[in-house]
Amino acid sequence: MADSENKKDKFVKPLDFSAGNLASAWKVFKDQFAVYKIVKKLDDLSADEQIAHMLMAMGSESIPVYNQFVFVDSDANKKKTLVNCIKMFDTYFEPVKNVIFERSVFNKMVQESGQSLHQFIVKLQVQSENCEYGTMKDDLVRDRIVVGVRDIELRKYLIDVPDLTLRTCIQKAKQYVSNQQQVAEMGPSTPSAKDEDSATNVDQVTSRKKEQKGKPDYGRKDSSLTAAKSTDKACPKCGKWKHFGGKCPAERSKCNKCKQFGHWAKMCSSRKQVSEVQEELEEDMDSMGLYLGSSPL
């Protein structure tokens, strides 16, 4: 039984009067003492006994502060009770509040890196208490949650919820985060046989397209009508990139090099030199000129 009592006493930590933010330290102490008061059933004790328990829990530095308080039995707000004593400590520890500053801090709050959604929401709610928003507090905390969460998809999800209240906002945000964690823990799904076949078909089509990419396309539209003989995309008969009507103009032509039909001289594979062809053409022209220029005897 003694061990249990010691644990209850240790639950309330003495107030650190050297804390940088004494008002915040006092608020933490009050929250702890409220639980302690119920466990110890202090309501059954007299006002002096209740106050004595609180001063002992706060520490010896609380005595000089308490001695400054003036209690008036005829005034209900100043009568010596634990509630009024706590209010006097509130006044003592509470610094002069700058509401504009507190609101500026609140309006800049966003979910920080490594900060959980729960921690972000709690921090917002604590800061909102210093802003004196009144009846607008819940709506402003809700808006700050939507705007301040790091997950953009969660933000979009919350914006689309109709008639979003603070309570609904918190519930849906926590459910969203929980679902995301569960999906991540499930890991990637195993592809089915149907999916594997589809993937194989896609690979085959892609492979065929790559193979066909390097093949000549004689029917394609192109502004160029000539191509080098070495180009594998040119027509092997005429060397052109484009055929009008889909037919090669060299199919019924006679090659000036090899005298064969079906291709032009520039695409001829014969070993006959161009100079020889030119000589033959000159001889033909000369003979034709003589014949045409001769006169009858």
Neighbours of 257 (CB within 10 A): 21
Question: 31-66 b/e with 16+ CB inside 10 Å = b?
Answer: eebeebbeebebeeeeeeebbebbbebbeeebeebe
Q: How far apart are CA 285 and CA 297, in angstroms?
A: 23
In the Cβ-directed half-sphere of 119, how many Cα atoms lie within 13 Å? Answer: 8
Looking at residue 186, its pLDDT comes to 86
Where do the domains of the chain lie, and which CATH numbers do they carry?
A: 2-93 (no CATH), 100-185 (1.10.1200), 223-280 (no CATH)
Phi, psi of 245 (to 5 degrees): 80, 5
User: What CA–CA distances, in Å, run from 255 to 190, 244, 267, 287, 288?
Assistant: 64, 21, 9, 20, 20
Query: Considering only CA atoms, which of 69, 74, 72 is closest in space to residue 86?
Result: 69
Looking at residue 230, its pLDDT comes to 43
Looking at residue 189, its pLDDT comes to 66
Looking at residue 191, its pLDDT comes to 59
Looking at residue 270, its pLDDT comes to 67
- Say what the pTM is: 0.42
- How far the first Cα of the chain sits from its last, in Å, is 155
Reading the block at residue 60, the tokens are 């010896």
Query: Considering only CA atoms, which of 91, 18, 23, 26 is closest in space to residue 54?
Result: 26
What long-range pairs does 104-112 form, CB within 8 A, spacing at least 24?
106/130, 106/131, 106/140, 106/144, 107/144, 109/144, 109/148, 110/147, 110/148, 110/150, 111/148, 111/149, 111/150
Looking at residue 137, its pLDDT comes to 95
Neighbours of 227 (CB within 10 A): 19
Per-residue pLDDT of the chain (297 residues; tens, 9 = 90+): 455 455 545 778 899 988 888 888 898 999 999 999 999 899 999 999 999 999 999 999 999 999 999 999 999 989 999 999 999 999 998 876 788 999 999 999 999 999 999 999 999 999 998 899 999 999 999 999 999 999 999 999 999 999 999 999 999 999 999 998 898 888 776 655 555 555 555 556 566 655 555 555 544 444 444 444 444 567 877 877 666 666 787 777 788 878 787 887 778 876 544 555 555 555 555 545 544 444 444
